[in-house]
Amino acid sequence: MRKLSNLVRLTLLIASVSALAACQTLGSAGLVQSTASAQLTPEAASSIAGDMVGRLTEQIGPGSTTISLTPDGSVFGQALEASLRGWGYAVVTDQVTEATNVVALAYVVDEFEGSILVRLSTLTLDLTRMYRHGSEGAAPISPLSIMQRGAGEPV
């Protein structure tokens, strides 16, 4: 019974965060501003970034495109950029590019009830997952939530 209750709470949390994310101010690329308000150790940021980029790769293909990222200067932003490069993506952070194969990427990292909620967003895709701090970084504690949008639909 308790596991069911936790699953229901997690589902409601993800739905709430998705609804709130739609209300955030959109950046110049049509995405929310990247923010990491959760206090993460470099190890936790690296393990979360590695997991999320691995899941992103499953959706957009490995190293097949250039990622346009506007990091917020946080430990997570640095870890995400390093992880993207490690997976073979070209990453542009403050340059304007005319390439046709560019995917704008934003992230939100927040704390919620002692856990870490992470969302990666493109114009057509949101990936969301919860993590818990561990002795060697952070470990996922929820399934990956994938929300896909049509390329022409508003964000």
Mean pLDDT, the chain, integer: 82
Reported confidence tier of residue 26, pLDDT bands at 50, 70, 90: very low
- Percent of the chain at pLDDT > 70 equals 74
At 65 the pLDDT is 85
80 close to 69: Cβ distance less than 8 angstroms: yes
Beta-bridge partner residues of 107: 120
At 23 the pLDDT is 42
At 31 the pLDDT is 80
At 13 the pLDDT is 56
3-state SS of the chain: helix, strand, coil percent to 5? 35, 30, 35
- Over residues 66-74, the mean pLDDT reads 90
Closest Cα partner for 60 from 143, 5, 124?
A: 124
Other C-beta atoms lying within 10 Å of the C-beta of residue 152:
7
Q: If you average pLDDT over each of 6-10, 33-37, 93-97, 117-121, which comes out highest?
A: 117-121
pLDDT at 24 over 60: no
40 close to 109: Cβ distance less than 8 angstroms: yes
The tally of CA atoms less than 13 A away on the side-chain side of residue 25 is 5
The pTM (predicted TM-score) of the whole model is 0.76
Do the strands 115-121 and 90-92 form a parallel or antiparallel pair, or are they unpaired? Answer: unpaired
> Nearest-5° angle of CA 126, CA 130, CA 131?
130
Closest Cα partner for 128 from 118, 137, 115, 142?
A: 118
Within 8 A by CB and 6+ apart from 62, the residues are: 87, 88
User: Does 152 or 77 have the greater pLDDT score?
Assistant: 77
Beta-bridge partner residues of 119: 108, 128
